[in-house]
Chains A and B, each alone.
Chain A
Amino acid sequence: MSGVRRSFGTGETRVVALEALDLEVAAGSFTAIIGPNGCGKSTLLRLAAGLLTPDAGTVLIGQERDAAPPRAGDGRVGLAFQQPRLVPWLTTVENVALPLALAGASAAERDRRAETALQRVGIQRALRLRPAELSGGMAQRAGLARALIGDPPLLLLDEPFSALDALTREAFDTELQRLWLGQPRTVVLVTHSVSEAVRLADRILVMTARPGAVARIVEVDLPRPRPVLSGDPAAARVDRAVREALAEVHPPELSPWTDGEDAEEVPA
């Protein structure tokens, strides 16, 4: 993305979500994007997915000369959301096969590839169940399977696990890491969790508050696979660097609640 601006609304209600945003993501890399609320992370993802077009600047997907603006449904991008967003009256396999159905694939092909996708995320038992019958984690995995069924070169993840409990989240992070290591592709993960970003990404982009742009890039040069809590001081350094960067761009939520001298000083 280069020189991207995107705003919403007009007149007094106009909100500039992104301004002068430049970023570049290497093919096959795992990039995490982190930042305060309202910094435009979701808008950024939607621009990358082709759901929105920029007011100014360009968005391109692809290598060098073949790079072109993204278009929804052209198969280059897979998108998973914070909520599973499964169609309530379809079964799990029908939901996961939905991109293929929209493209007009045959029933046989849909069934075959959907079953494979379900196996990849470990929910093949849920084949004929309806979304209401799935647990939160299973539903989220189904959403992920749907994003991956077309085997897109670029996978966009919008806080995919933040609606889940902490333990499930850690487990899913582990599985995501394993999936990516097994079948490499370009991944962009938007997250609120510093530890998740440090655990999974090659680079962490810290965004400014609204209007959003890239404030700092933190390289993560740690070996993989990375466990949940590594004793590695290098990991702690990366973690600290990200938090410092966040502190610089933080909105009031990240400030201490009181300025009082009587409040205990707690090392950050």
Chain B
Amino acid sequence: MSGRTLLRLGGGLLSLAAFLVAWKLLVLLTDTPEYILPAPEVVIDRGVRAIGSGVLWEHVGATVLEIVLGFGLGAATAIAVGVALGKSVVIERVLSPYLVAAQAVPILALAPLLDIWFGGGLFARVLVCALIVFFPIAIATMVGIRSADPLLREMLLSLGATPGQVTTRLEIPSALPVIFGGLRVGVTLSVIGAVVAEWVSASTGLGVLINIADQGLFDTPLMFVALAALAIIGLAFYSLVVMVERRLVHPA
């Protein structure tokens, strides 16, 4: 492991430790009861027990599946639509109002409708998740496609490049940094999307676990365990996107 990676890891652990200490201090100083804000060691202990009993994995697995499928579907369609929006001002003018309007409607209101229309199974939840990630990625793609250097475009055309070649050799590679910006945002949104979808219809998942812990069991530490799991999942997926970005996007 290189010295730099060790330093980064050490820094991360240090900031995590600082966060936990601050949390513990907050609980101590405000004398908050465990059922409102549990101390970190209580949450960790509860988490260890939940992992040991296998309960946590079942819910984690369900949510991760929704995230992977939802983000995949949402990102793929968003990039395709974004390329179309970027290349054609006409398409942008026609589609934009609907895209913006759909984005403005709270997903929490749309989700139950989608659940009914699509039969309330995994697909409906994947769709909710895909919808949440769609807009930022589509817009990022559109902006990125349009950011292609016109001087390079002229150069390519002078070499006899076809419009398709201009798209694949110039516009998409130019757009990649911006697209990945959208993907970073999108992947963290997909975690929210999965939970929102579960709050509409699901029997397993971290969103369901939050409900069960909070409303059924009055087990606030367990609810915090679910929240921590969601945060870790979000971080993991984000890091994955960043890793892919580092391999695909060469610093220009």
Q: Are A and B close enough to touch in the complex, i.e. CB under 8 Å?
A: yes
Partner-B contacts on A (CB < 8 A): 49-51, 71-74, 79, 81, 83, 85, 87-89, 98-99, 102-103, 130, 132
Nearest CB of chain A from residue B174's CB, rounded to whole Å: 9
A-B contact pairs, 25 of them (CB 8 A): A50-B158, A51-B157, A51-B158, A71-B160, A72-B159, A73-B159, A73-B160, A74-B160, A79-B158, A81-B151, A81-B155, A83-B151, A85-B152, A85-B154, A85-B155, A87-B173, A89-B173, A89-B250, A89-B252, A99-B159, A102-B156, A102-B160, A102-B165, A102-B169, A132-B252
Q: Is the interface of A mostly helix, strand, loop or mixed?
A: loop
Closest CB in chain A relative to B216 CB, distance in Å: 53
Asked whether A98 lies within 8 Å of B159 as measured between CB atoms, the reply is yes
Q: Which residues of A contact B169 (CB under 8 A)?
A: 87, 102
Among the interface residues A73, A79, A98, which one has the most CB atoms of the partner chain B within 10 A? A73
In chain B, positions 155-178 with a C-beta closer than 8 Å to chain A are 155-161, 165, 169-170, 173
Taken together as a complex, chains A and B put the C-alpha atoms of A51 and B153 apart, in Å, by: 11
Query: Which B residue's beta carbon lies closest to that of A143?
Result: B155
Tell me which residues across on chain A come within 8 A of B155, comparing CB atoms: 81, 85
Check A102–B151 contact: CB distance below 8 A.
Answer: no
Residue numbers in B under 8 Å from A51 (CB-CB): 154, 157-158
Known: A87-B152, A89-B173. A102 touches B157 (CB 8 A): no
Q: A50-B158, A102-B156, A102-B165 are in contact. List 4 more A-B contacts (CB 8 A).
A: A73-B161, A89-B173, A98-B156, A102-B160
* Distance (whole angstroms) from the CB of A140 to the closest CB of chain B: 13
The CA of A191 and the CA of B252, in the complex, are separated in Å by 30
What residues of chain A lie closer than 8 Å to B154, measured between beta carbons?
51, 85
Tell me the complex Cα distance, A16–B144, Å: 33
Cβ of A81: which chain B residues have Cβ within 8 Å of it? 151, 155
The residue on A at minimum CB distance from B173 is: A89
Residues on the B chain within 8 Å of A99, using CB: 159-160
A161 to B47, CA, bound (A): 68
Q: Which 5 A-B pairs have the closest CB atoms?
A: A73-B160, A88-B252, A85-B155, A99-B159, A89-B250
Nearest B residue to A101, CB-CB: B169
Taking the closest CB of chain B, its distance from the CB of A155, in whole angstroms, is 13
Chain A residues with Cβ under 8 A from B156's Cβ? 98, 102
Cα distance A102–B250 in the bound complex, in angstroms:
21
Interface contact A49-B158, CB-CB below 8 Å: yes
Which of B152, B159, B173 is A102 in contact with, Cβ under 8 Å?
Answer: B159
A88 surroundings in chain B (CB, below 8 A): 252
B103 CB to closest chain A CB (Å) equals 31
Contacts of B165 in A (CB 8 A): 102
Q: Are B158 and A103 in contact (CB under 8 A)?
A: no
In the complex, the answer to whether B158 meets A72 with C-beta atoms within 8 Å is yes
Tell me the nearest residue of chain A to B155, going by C-beta.
A85
Measured CA separation A130–B250 after assembly (Å)? 10
- CB neighbours (8 Å) of A73 from chain B are 158-161
A49 to B158, CA, bound (A): 7
| A50–B157 alpha-carbon span in the complex (Å) | 9
- Minimum distance in angstroms from A44 CB to a CB of chain B: 14
Give Cα A88–Cα B165 distance, bound, in whole angstroms: 16
Q: How far is the CA of A98 from the CA of B155 in the complex (A)?
A: 11
Give the nearest-CB partner of B158 in chain A.
A79
Chain B residues with CB under 8 Å of A89's CB are 173, 250, 252
Within B169-204, the residues touching A (CB, 8 Å) are: 169-170, 173
